[in-house]
Amino acid sequence: MKKPDGKVVLLGDMNVGKTSLLHRYMEKRFQETVSTVGGAFYLKQWGPYNISIWDTAGREQFHGLGSMYCRGAAAVILTYDVNSLQSLTELEERFLALTDSASADCIFAIVGNKVDLTDDCALPPDENRPEKSAASCGSKVRKQVRAEDAIALYKKILKYKMLDEKDVPAAEKMCFETSAKTGYKVDYLFETVFEMVVPIIVRQKAEGPPQTVDITDYKPAKRTKSGCCA
Ligand X SMILES: Nc1nc2c(ncn2[C@@H]2O[C@H](COP(=O)(O)OP(=O)(O)OP(=O)(O)O)[C@@H](O)[C@H]2O)c(=O)[nH]1
For the bound state, the minimum distance from the C-beta of residue 145 to Mg ion, rounded and expressed in Å, comes to 20
Length of the chain: 230
Do the Cβ atoms of 18 and 10 come closer than 8 Å? yes
Q: Of 65, 80, 71, 106, nearest to 13 (Cα)? A: 80
State the DSSP H helix or E strand holding residue 81, giving kind and residue range, or none if neither: strand 75-81
Cα radius of gyration (the chain): 19
Interacting partner of 84 out of ligand X, Mg ion, none (Cβ under 5 to 8 A depending on kind): none
Interface with ligand X (CB under 6 A), residue from 14, 26, 65, 198? 14
Which residues are CB-contacts of 78 (< 8 A; sequence separation ≥ 6)? 11, 12, 91, 95, 96, 108, 109, 110, 111, 153, 157
Q: Which stretch binds Mg ion (CB under 5 A): 10-18, 38-46, 119-127, 205-213?
A: 10-18
Q: Counting contacts by CB under 6 A, is residue 133 touching ligand X?
A: no
* Distance of closest approach, residue 57 Cβ to ligand X, in angstroms: 5
# residues contacting ligand X (CB under 6 A): 22
Q: Does 192 sit near ligand X (CB under 6 A)?
A: no
Q: Alpha-carbon distance 154 to 165, whole Å? A: 10
Distance CA 53, CA 23 (A): 11
Return d(Cα 36, Cα 55) in angstroms, integer: 8
**Is 16 a binder of ligand X (CB under 6 A)?**
yes
Sign of the C-alpha dihedral computed for residues 123, 136, 58 and 54 taken in this order: negative
Write out the binding residues for Mg ion, residues 15-44 only, by CB under 5 A. 18-19, 36
Contacts with ligand X in 143-182 (CB under 6 A)? 179-181
Among 19, 99, 204, 212, binds ligand X (CB under 6 A): 19
Q: Which is nearer to Mg ion, 18 or 24 (CB)?
A: 18
Stretch that binds ligand X, among 54-62, 136-144, 151-159, 193-201 (CB under 6 A): 54-62
Please report whether residue 63 would count as binding ligand X according to CB under 6 A. no
DSSP character at residue 102? S
Residue 82 interacts with ligand X (CB under 6 A)? no
Question: Residues 68 to 97: which contact Mg ion by CB under 5 A?
Answer: none
Residues in contact with ligand X by the rule CB under 6 A: 12, 14-20, 32-33, 35-36, 57-59, 113-114, 116-117, 179-181
